[in-house]
Amino acid sequence: GRYHKGIDIAGVSDKTIKAADNGKVVDAGYRNSFGNKVVIDHGNGYETTYAHLSSIDVKKGETVKKGEKLGVMGTTGRSTGVHL
């Protein structure tokens, strides 16, 4: 893959991905090398990006709570294996 400022977390297919904290969905959809991607703005200067999802369960503009399902782990986009 390409260099980015995040971390890659290996996992298994079909694992539910949940929001790390409360926030607003500022991006949700297929984004080239990131594949299916969700970005949460936590309103405190931090954003969390969840990429390579096999499916997305939220839409841009929605408010999410910590622990809420965002999607399912996968390997979409420019990916060499199942990871987040």
% residues pLDDT > 90 (the chain): 70
Distances (CA, A) of 68 to 5, 27, 56, 63: 24, 16, 12, 10
% residues pLDDT > 70 (the chain): 95
For the segment 36-45, the average pLDDT, to the nearest whole number, is: 98
| Contact call for residues 14 and 64 (beta carbons, < 8 A) | no
In CATH terms, 16-72 corresponds, of 1.10.150.120, 3.90.120.10, 2.70.70.10, 3.10.310.30, to: 2.70.70.10
pLDDT tens digits for range 5-34: 777 778 888 899 999 999 999 999 999 889
If one counts every other C-beta atom within 10 angstroms of the C-beta of residue 11, the result is 16
| CA–CA separation, 65 and 59 (whole Å) | 14
If one counts every other C-beta atom within 10 angstroms of the C-beta of residue 22, the result is 15
DSSP-assigned letter for residue 83? B
